Structure 1
Amino acid sequence: MDGILPLWKPKGMTSHDCVVKIRKLYRTKKVGHTGTLDPEVEGVLPICIGQATKIVPFLTDTKKTYIAEVKLGTATDTEDGQGEVVESKPVNDFPTDDTVEDVLQSFQGDITQVPPMYSAVKVNGRKLYEYARKNIEVERPKRTVTIFDIERLPSDGQDIRFKVVCSKGTYIRTLCVDVGRKLGYPAHMADLSRIQTGSFAEDDCIRFTEIEEAVEKNQEEQLLFPLSSGLNHLDVLQVDEATKKKVENGSKLMHPDEELKTDPFRVMHGRLLLAIYQKHPEKPGQIKPVRVFHG
């Protein structure tokens, strides 16, 4: 059984919890998720099953879309609503709409983030949250991420809601804190949901209740999307029958005459996904397989 299950991860479960549950429901160990969501975050979490586990890194590397809520006035040690308050300031004069809009737009493009202490980023072989739990401060590595689009949304009360399209590795908690800081207030992320990963949107997603119902009817395989649907962001090289056999054997090939917009890229025979190839790093004019799929 091979394919992608676009799960809507519920609040209260870790991404690993979801993998464990799906392993039991689908009766297979070959299950992997495509980008961790914190337990209190809900949203799109594509789950790869069977041969689809081969494309986990490529699906993880896609754009993500979130809806976030910023709470001004208090900062926490975890940068979300679950942590201890470490700073507070009364919000007597809430920023004007124009000010909020200007601050949000100032984050568009490439930005530098310092990952939160309560995160899974590793320093000297240990995860930051392991240091945080022992109250050990360590220097955190800066990272460059990309905000492709950010848009303010209507909100009740005085919280700030926005939709953001961003690159892999973006910490929305940190973005919320940085937005608050630019507005002159300590802040934290009050709520978050991921509404799109790559080509998978909320409307595509399956809830656990639906999976359990399908399992009872032996129809769980019908919920899976084909592997190629998780690779829509990669360009396609179509090959003929003779070349198809070479690809299935994992052979290196001469670089095609046609221009390919992405590297790596998909190799397909009609609608059949054969492999993922890339330009050969050491042999100009050749392409080599990164992943080969067997039907």
Structure 2
Amino acid sequence: MNYVGPDLGFVLPVDKPSGPTSHDVVTMLRRALVTSKVGHTGTLDPFASGLLLMCVGYSTRLSEYLVGLDKSYDAVALLGVSTTTEDAQGDVIDESRGWECLTADQVDEVLNSFQGDLEQVPPQFSAKKIKGVPMHHRARRGEFVDLPAQNIRIHQLELLGMDLPIVRFRVRCSSGTYVRSLARDIGAKLKVGAHLVELRRTSVGDFSVEEAVKVDHFSDGSRIERRSIDPLRAVGHLPSVEVSQIDVEKLACGNTIPFEDPVTSTLVAVSKAGTLIAIAEAGEGYLQPRKVFVQ
């Protein structure tokens, strides 16, 4: 029995520029690395830039454990103009000059009111699928879907600067939060409307865009190697446990192993000698393998 070893692949932090879609970046990386086994862990809109975590090789099997990580963004909203897409790419549907009467304290107070657990209605233009069809396809056909509000959490929302009608802010939020819709809702609460004009994702979980590879450097093998994230480190947000060779063999056969340690998560990263062996589910006194990385 062998560990998957180098073939386990890695997670690569990528700094997506404004313009290409997230899938475009996947295609670029597939060509550069000459492998079809590449996938991202959370879409960025084409106009947005910043951090994409790309799973490469066997590590594509880890993507489901990364998509739910919290994310941070730096954003710029334009007050007084509402658009169909809630960003600068849409058609203007309403305008107001009420922003001329706003003060920094009023804007800051409204931003503070959006911190915590919230319900957010997703935008009509998004990759969210309804009955298998992305919302942006439906919206372009002129369809309007009454979307239910989604539960989100805004951990931190900070006003970075204001030169009205421009407002710059930083947000750390749960996965599934639409910053475009946050800008829309801020504008609505200020009673002037708003849309997003710039968006940059600065972090995913504990991973920062400062550690990321730019798409222009995909052909630089040494840079890719330096910036790549080991699979065990990639799931570092999960509790981890080191096991014996006997337990490795049991997990590889799909069998449970004894486990008595208290954990704060139902999922556990199982390793041996610093190599990811499995993602397992913790039960009462045992670990049940969910995904195994030995052969």
Is the pair's TM-score, using the shorter chain for normalization, greater than 0.5?
Answer: yes
Candidates 155, 159, 170, aligned match of 2:166:
159
Q: Is the alpha carbon distance of 1:92 and 1:53 closer, same or farther for their aligned partners in structure 2, counting shifts above 3 Å?
A: closer
Structure-to-structure mapping, 1:220-239, within 5 angstroms: 220-239=224-243
User: What does the per-residue CA deviation read over 1:194-233, in whole Å, with 9 as the maximum and x for residues that have no partner?
Assistant: 0001121021101122222x14xx7744442211222121
Per-residue deviation at 1:76? 0.1
Per-residue deviation at 1:136? 1.3
Decide whether the 8 Å contact of 1:199 with 1:230 is kept in 2: no
Decide whether the 8 Å contact of 2:77 with 2:167 is kept in 1: yes
1:196 aligns with 203
Per-residue deviation at 1:157? 4.7
1:290 aligns with 2:293: no
1:253 aligns with 257
2:190 aligns with 183
1:61 aligns with 68
Distance 1:158 1:76 in 2: 15
1:266 aligns with 2:269: yes
Distance 1:207 1:120 in 2: 24
Query: Which amino acid in 2 is paired with 1:261?
Result: T
Instruction: Identify which range, 130-139 or 42-51, moves more after superposition.
Output: 130-139
2:247 aligns with 243
Decide whether the 8 Å contact of 1:30 with 1:53 is kept in 2: yes
For structure 1, the residue ranges without an aligned partner over 5 or more in a row are: none
Per-residue deviation at 1:146? 0.8
Decide whether the 8 Å contact of 1:15 with 1:39 is kept in 2: yes
Instruction: Identify which range, 136-145 or 40-49, moves more after superposition.
Output: 136-145
Distance 1:103 1:116 in 2: 20
SS at match of 1:154: strand
Distance 2:140 2:245 in 1: 57
User: Percent same amino acid among aligned pairs?
Assistant: 35
1:13 aligns with 2:20: yes
User: What does the per-residue CA deviation read over 1:164-213, in whole Å, with 9 as the maximum and x for residues that have no partner?
Assistant: 1111100000000001111111110111000001121021101122222x
1:209 aligns with 216
**What's the RMSD between the two structures over aligned residues?**
1.8
